[in-house]
Amino acid sequence: MVEKLSKAAWFQGRRGPVVLVIMDGVGFGKYTEGDAVASAYKPTLDWMLANCPNTRLKAHGQAVGLPSDADMGNSEVGHNAIGSGRVFDQGAKLVSSSINSGKMFQGQAWKDIAGNVLAKKSTLHFIGLFSDGNVHSHIDHLKAMMTEAVAEGIAKIRVHILLDGRDVGETSALDYVIPFEAFLADLRTKGCDARIASGGGRMFITMDRYNANWPMVERGWKTHVLGEGRQFASAQEAIETLRKETGAIDQDLGAFVIAENGKPVGTIEDGDSVVYFNFRGDRALEITAAFEQDDFSHFDRVRRPDVVYAGMMEYDGDLHVPKRYLTSPPSIDRVSGEYLAALGLRTLACSETQKYGHVTYFYNGNRSGKIDDKLEEYVEVPSDVVPFEQRPWMKGAEITDVVVDGILSGKYDFIRCNFPNGDMVGHTGVYQAVQIGVEAVDLCIARIKKAVDKVGGVLVITADHGNADDMYEHKKDGSIPSENGVKKVKTAHSLNPVPCIVYDPEFKGDYIKELKSGLGISSIAATCINLLGYDAPVDYDSSVLQH
């Protein structure tokens, strides 16, 4: 139980609630060309940036607990930082440290995985996102584990690759596959039968989240476990053929199975071991459930092999999923929601399915469920199961309905919501759709602003990372590469700063209108606590407010 915070002597709060709007994937672009945020028609946001206290916050790299400032931020670490008010070392950094120190391979989970294969002379399988995007996974982690497995005498390894094209270049799959095949060839010279066994685009198989599209997971299960699907002689052949036939970018490519003489080279069988090597939890939980749950009804697994299964990290700390994991996750404590609950403040959190877990689970420090059932209400608006470029407005209107009703009801002291458009539509790479997504969010903010005006609240607007602000690849000289006259699209997150805007219609001169600069998004927690009329915990990262 956290201590109760003290009332702020310099700020008594406002009569209405504090409303935090997180515009997922909306930052300040470095380049004019390709910045779908800057080019969008957004009169409300533009007015606020011209007339309200605002600053730019860091939302990537070390500011959100990632290994270096070359690492793009993401929604999970972003919401961890926003909700906890401090920066914790995150997945990529923890895994790299565990591997480099050798701690991973000394742990019981690795001993179980490797020992099972050695004892039964079976196969070690790796499944995960196949890139160096460092958002869900890193190919170097995979190679390090495979190298260790071979050193320990494991004689057969199969890798099931999920193509990225989202956190890295949209058609970069072969940049990873071709060198990896050389790596596998080297392992084979050391006595290990190591091969790619299956694969497909991350948005087509396996990596669903928030129970939004279980057929994705079923397709992955059939591909990786059962070896059912279109067969190819190699991953390179599969990628080149599917890309030529469909024109799809990597994340949307269909599933494929590597086979010899009509027989899959790497089905998952009784006695095998399986490592899901993604360290991020949201897109790991469903495939983990398919392997681990006895009572499973989401699809017909046909057969469930008796395997020793491990995740790269613990994906859900409350539910202890998976049962076995290779690296311990960050231990995030004393999140801002706990302090609000201790004060008896009432909270509403809302987003649509795609980001619902971010304003709840990740915001609360990777904690499932509510902090206080009596004081909190969480509302999930079901997302459309369609390509986001076809519905770039997503569920913005419905989220806004919930938020506006909450503001006007007088029931809540603090309201937070996430609009996913800038991120989810941004990942499609469709520029016009991304602009529309940003414009839809602006319309929603205009409605929220009117409600805040009516009740005398305070509106704080920020983002968890950039994306829509950087829609084209750029060379070091700022030029945009192109293929056949078509500009090369960027579908990954950006390294750009994000806004922090404070709209306070009943401002009383109790703080300086110039906000602090040079801070990270972890400063949002202390800022919101201050605006509720309280001093933030002394070890929280600084509020943007000066007084």
pLDDT band for 67, please (50, 70, 90 cuts).
Answer: confident
Mean pLDDT, rounded, for 215-231: 98
Q: Taking Cα atoms as reference points, which of 452, 464, 458 lies closest to residue 424?
A: 464
- Side chain identity at residue 276, one-letter code: Y
pLDDT of res. 40: 98
Neighbours of 373 (CB within 10 A): 9
pLDDT of res. 318: 58
pLDDT of res. 477: 84
Mean pLDDT, rounded, for 41-66: 96
Give the strand pairing for 18-23 and 414-419: parallel
Q: What is the pTM of this model?
A: 0.77
pLDDT of res. 485: 84
Residue 317 has pLDDT above 80, yes or no: no
Taking the C-alpha atoms of residue 185 and residue 189, their distance in angstroms, rounded to an integer, is 7
Cα-atom radius of gyration of the chain, to the nearest Å?
A: 24
The catalytic position among 6, 39, 75, 482 is 75
Residue 319 has pLDDT above 80, yes or no: no
pLDDT of res. 204: 97
pLDDT of res. 82: 98
pLDDT of res. 182: 98
- Round the average pLDDT of the chain to a whole number and report it: 95
Taking the C-alpha atoms of residue 54 and residue 10, their distance in angstroms, rounded to an integer, is 20
- For residues 111 and 326, is the Cβ–Cβ distance under 8 A? no
- For residues 353 and 321, is the Cβ–Cβ distance under 8 A? no
Q: Got the DSSP string for 279-313? A: --STTTHHHHHHHH-SS--SS--S-----EEEEEE
Determine whether 98 is an active site residue: no
3-class secondary structure, 338: helix
Domains in the chain with CATH codes = 18-89+334-531 (3.40.720.10), 92-327 (3.40.1450.10)
Residue 328 has pLDDT above 90, yes or no: no
pLDDT of res. 210: 74
pLDDT of res. 232: 98
Look up residue 373 and give its two tokens. Answer: 């059932």
pLDDT of res. 365: 93
268-301 pLDDT per residue, tens: 999 999 999 999 888 999 999 999 999 999 999 9
pLDDT of res. 152: 98
Taking the C-alpha atoms of residue 542 and residue 518, their distance in angstroms, rounded to an integer, is 11
420-478 pLDDT per residue, tens: 999 999 999 999 999 999 999 999 999 999 999 999 999 999 999 999 999 998 888 88
Give the strand pairing for 486-487 and 482-483: antiparallel
Residue 316 has pLDDT above 80, yes or no: no
Dihedral of CA 325/330/336/339: which sign? positive
Q: Got the DSSP string for 98-163? A: HHHHTHHHHSHHHHHHHHHHHHHT--EEEEEE-SS-SSS--HHHHHHHHHHHHHTT--EEEEEEEE
3-class secondary structure, 241: helix
Dihedral of CA 476/482/483/484: which sign? negative
CA within 13 Å, CB half, 474: 16
- The helix, strand and coil proportions of the chain, stated in percent and rounded to the nearest 5, come to 35, 20, 45
Taking the C-alpha atoms of residue 538 and residue 241, their distance in angstroms, rounded to an integer, is 58
Look up residue 476 and give its two tokens. Answer: 């070091």
156-180 pLDDT per residue, tens: 999 999 999 988 999 999 999 999 9
Residue 135 has pLDDT above 80, yes or no: yes
Neighbours of 144 (CB within 10 A): 18
pLDDT of res. 453: 98
Q: Got the DSSP string for 483-524? A: ETTEEPB--S-B---EEEEEE-TT--SSSBSSPP-S-BTTHH
Residue 531 has pLDDT above 70, yes or no: yes
Q: In this prediction, what percent of the chain has a pLDDT beyond 90?
A: 87
Residue 521 has pLDDT above 70, yes or no: yes
